[in-house]
Amino acid sequence: MAWFRRDKEGITTPTTEKKETPEGLWYKCPECNTVVTSEDFEANLWVCAECQYHEKVGPEEYFKFLFDGGKYKELDPNLYSADPLEFEDKKKYADRVKDTMEKTKLKDAIKTAHGKLDKKDIVIACMDFKFIGGSMGSVVGEKIARAIEFARKKKYPFIMISKSGGARMMEGAFSLMQMAKTSARLAQLAEAKVPYISILTNPTTGGVTASFAMLGDFNIAEPKALIGFAGPRVVKETIGKDLPEGFQTSEFVLEKGFLDFIVQRNEMKQKLALLLNMLKK
């Protein structure tokens, strides 16, 4: 039981989420097939009460239960993707971005915000898997970099919730350099001794893992998230045999020494508050 109280308004689900459940009223867990009402599912922070499967959710959901009273101010809400390479595969990247923006009502694969967590100022950046697989292009990199800068100048702790398939190929080397950009800003944040907590959620792979996601003062993860540099399919092809059970899960990554701890979503806020409280001067 969490010690904090969630606002009743704080747990309303956006309509886009409801559409994904059958008839808009029920949620069926893909892991154990347990069916619950959407309302109960939301109340349990989109985690299956039966098997603890943590459903993928986006910034709005995380912001609502992490920020006190679900209240926050979004930072840089107006950035959206350009098409620096005029990239075209089977589809033009510019069209892909436009269509995705219309379909998801999102600007890109991330939102950054400032608010209070347990009455203390905090900056949270959270990726959104619904937008081109949470891929990192210039907008994602820039918004993270700006959020870090904001946190550094204000001396507010910074929390990064990663959820990404990796780099956005359609931005080529621009996307690659977002790893350098975010790491450069994190170096400055560390220099200023401002706490940085990296939360890895399902999935966190590729260039995101190989940059900011692994650079927290604390690297923590939700249970059973897929976390890795190379994706499981690529690793399997490389070694030419089946992967061991549980490979690249949060629990595996913790055992290998790359996570500080694993946290259930319904204990996340409490743990963050406690940890940040311990770091206070």
> Using CB under 5 A, which of 29, 170, 194, 199 touches Zn ion?
29
Residue holding tokens 């994602």?
140
Task: Name the residue among 208, 200, 126 with its Cα closest to residue 167.
Answer: 208
Beta carbon nearer to another protein, 141 or 195? 141
The CB-of-26 to Zn ion minimum distance in angstroms stands at: 13
Cβ count within 10 A of residue 117: 21
Task: Name the residue among 259, 138, 117, 147 with its Cα closest to residue 198.
Answer: 259
Size of the site for another protein (CB under 8 A): 61
Q: Is 102 in the site for another protein (CB under 8 A)?
A: no
- Stretches 8-16, 33-41, 85-93, 151-159: which one binds another protein (CB under 8 A)? 85-93
Q: Is 229 in the site for another protein (CB under 8 A)?
A: yes
Beta strands at 72-75 and 110-117: parallel, antiparallel or unpaired: antiparallel
x/- mask, Zn ion, residues 45-64, rule CB under 5 A, reads ---x-xx-x-----------
Whole-angstrom Cα distance, residue 60 to residue 15? 12
Site for another protein in 41-80 (CB under 8 A): 78-80
Q: Is 150 in the site for another protein (CB under 8 A)?
A: no
- Sign of the CA dihedral with 266 first, then 280, 260, and 178 last: positive
Three-state secondary structure call for residue 18:
helix
The CB-of-98 to another protein minimum distance in angstroms stands at: 11
Beta carbon nearer to Zn ion, 31 or 237? 31
Task: Name residue 161's beta-bridge partners.
Answer: 126, 199
CB 253 within 8 A of CB 219: no
x/- mask, another protein, residues 164-203, rule CB under 8 A, reads ---x-xxxxxxxxxxxxx-xxxxxx-xx------------
For residue 26, the partner it binds in another protein, Zn ion, none, with Cβ less than 5 to 8 A by kind, is: none
Residue holding tokens 């311990």?
278
Whole-angstrom Cα distance, residue 278 to residue 58? 28
The CB-of-58 to another protein minimum distance in angstroms stands at: 20
Beta carbon nearer to another protein, 5 or 244? 244
CB 272 within 8 A of CB 159: yes
Residues of the shown chain interacting with another protein in the complex, contacts defined by CB under 8 A: 78-82, 84-85, 87-90, 138-139, 141-142, 145, 167, 169-181, 183-188, 190-191, 206-207, 209-215, 228-230, 234-235, 238-239, 243-244, 247-248, 256-258
